[in-house]
């Protein structure tokens, strides 16, 4: 799951058992028990990550 929403994209994706990439847009991750598998600052970085390392 790739997205910029903490609750809807990352927590929801993790709850569904998916690997996650959070597009932070420069924001810091809020403290809590759920963490994204990867963090990028923008969509381009997320695409590059998907194409090179996630699989």
- Residue 10 above 70 pLDDT? yes
What percentage of residues in the chain have a pLDDT greater than 90?
89
pTM higher than the cut 0.85: yes
Q: How many CB atoms lie within 10 A of CB 30?
A: 8
The number of domains in the chain is 1
Tokens of 11: 């927590």
- 37-54 pLDDT per residue, tens: 999 999 999 999 999 986
Mean pLDDT, rounded, for 10-27: 96
At residue 9, the 3 state secondary structure works out as helix
User: Residue 34 belongs to what domain range?
Assistant: 2-52
Contact 33, 27 (CB under 8 A): no
């Amino acid at each position: 799951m790739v997205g910029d929403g903490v609750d809807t994209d990352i927590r929801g994706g993790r709850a569904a058992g998916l690997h996650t990439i959070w597009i932070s847009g420069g924001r810091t991750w809020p403290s809590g028990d759920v963490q994204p598998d990867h963090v990028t600052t923008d969509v381009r970085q997320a695409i590059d990550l998907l194409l090179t390392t996630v699989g």
